[in-house]
Amino acid sequence: MWILVMLLAPAWAEDVIVTTGKGTVVGQTTSDGYKTFFGVPYAKVDEGNPFGNSLNQPAFKKPFIANDSTILCPQATVFVGGILQCLTLNIYVPNQAGPSNTKAVFVWFYGGGFFFGYAGQYGGQYLVQQDIVVITVNYRLGPYGFLCLNDPKVPGNQGLKDQIAALRWIKANIGAFGGDPTKITIAGESYGGGSVDFHLYSMYEKLFDKTIVQSGSIFTPYVFGKGDPNAAIELAGKMGHESMNNDDAIKYLARADPVEVMKFAHNLTNILRPCKEKPFKGVSSFMTTDPYHFQNSAKIRNAKILIGYNSKETFDTFVDKDDAFYNGLQNAFSERLGQIFTIKKEELETLAKIVRDFYLGGKPIAKESRLELSDFLSDFMVNHAAERSVNNYVKFGAEKVYKYIFSYIGGSPYKSLPGVGAFHTEELQYLFQMTQNLTSDEQIMMRNRMTEMWANFAKYGDPTPQVTSLLPVRWTPVTNTEARPYMNIDVNMEVKNYVNQQRMAFWDLIWNQYWKTSPAI
């Protein structure tokens, strides 16, 4: 992690002081034309019940030194570590921004399956130089963020409610830093994109004016599930403590090492994720129904939304795999379909054969069919879910929906392989300072193009407000159900229509037939 921090650390020049409603925050100016405020707390975790709703952040009794971008919430997969008091923001502000010269605000929620990720992964150095304020948000993960116990002490969706708490803090305080509280765009990728999509339907007030959803959706398989009232008791049991009720289990888990809690949480019977909350008097709910029954949302009506995905989302899943890997996939179609539809075995096998024949056309499940398998898994996991979200946006009256496919492979480690496309997360290196180094003029051009389009959307609600040498094509939005234009983001920019039309129509038929059998309902 420390190597990553050194890679992301800008060159400091001098301290800069901001007075907020919570007290004084001390950040740093950089030699690159922007200011940073790292690790700014927006809420507190209740350490007596770290699995419940967060507490208000008290005012600072002395100036808060905002210089720690390494804070992460407890986790134990890609990154191992974290602290309970992790509800913090990393803020990047253009030098010229101030209370009398406010800029549009871009707020980022990381992906990671609601089990890993942290704000410091995503350096805002590129985006802030597009004259916007950039904020990356830490929110709780795993059992700390997504135990859903049907219990007023742990009602569910605490991680999403952390995001609400962050947005409320931003709305109330970002003006002091030079951000415009009336121009807040929330954005995220993968399950972070799913979070953004959920916010469009939440029961809380609207705390943003635009949204960007990258490779995510409320309809993504596994992003939503039913609560498990026994999850805390089961988790405590796996850690060696037998509990008879939630209160005892929570009391034990609250005292346990958070990283150990996260390790054992991976083996729970049910995956921890956003859920349909049981309503309780005096307890705020994020959502009390499932995505299939979300009603027409006032947050979507007249909204401006940017949504899309990458051209070959799961390509890297099938690259450089041996025969044993493919031998283990022989039942992949029935296994995947059986996870999202609860139907009888005979009907499941029939459906699995139809889907397999549609994608493989008689090919065996082997290396020779890796491109077809990638198309199947990409459609299953990401593509069709995003298209269903677009359908909802249009149905519920969004003003403009800007849809994209990211196809650029110039920075891909697989760019020389036949049939390669941009895989999941590949666009992120062109938006954020991460561990990858962009070396070629073409890659730097793509970074400038991506950051300018995303910043334009945050500023104007239009990613291409005018034609320039960098943005040579105006982006046509989706405005009705009769067409589905999208921007193909590549070296050669081009507006096309109806990506993978036959594949998407195929999944439309399947979901129309089987959606009522989803175990998430």
Please spell the DSSP secondary structure of 200-224, one letter per residue.
Answer: TT-SSPP--SEEEEES--TTSTTS-
Distances (CA, A) of 272 to 285, 447, 487: 17, 35, 34
Distances (CA, A) of 218 to 194, 214, 467, 509: 5, 12, 33, 19
Query: In 3D, which of 136, 166, 168 has the Cα closest to residue 37?
Result: 136
C-alpha–C-alpha distance, residues 452 and 441, integer Å = 16
C-alpha–C-alpha distance, residues 136 and 88, integer Å = 9
Cβ atoms of residues 159 and 146 within 8 Å: yes
C-alpha–C-alpha distance, residues 53 and 408, integer Å = 41
C-alpha–C-alpha distance, residues 515 and 521, integer Å = 9
12-20 vs 23-30, strand pairing mode: antiparallel
Assign 100 to helix, strand or coil: coil
Taking the CB of residue 381, how many other CB atoms lie within 10 A of it?
A: 21
Taking the CB of residue 81, how many other CB atoms lie within 10 A of it?
A: 15
Residue 100 designated active-site: no
Angle between helices 158-177 and 191-199 (to 10 degrees): 80
Taking the CB of residue 13, how many other CB atoms lie within 10 A of it?
A: 13
Q: What angle do CA 25, 28, 32 make, to 5 degrees?
A: 145
Which long-range contacts (C-beta less than 8 Å, at least 24 apart) are formed by 56-62? 57/22, 57/87, 57/169, 58/22, 59/21, 59/22, 59/23, 60/22, 60/23, 60/24, 60/25, 61/23, 62/23, 62/24
Query: In 3D, which of 198, 202, 206, 337 has the Cα closest to residue 273?
Result: 198
H or E element in which residue 146 lies: helix 142-146
C-alpha–C-alpha distance, residues 132 and 140, integer Å = 26
Distances (CA, A) of 332 to 338, 349, 380, 497: 10, 11, 12, 31
Looking at 31, 54, 100, 190, which residue is catalytic? 190
The residues assigned a catalytic role are 190
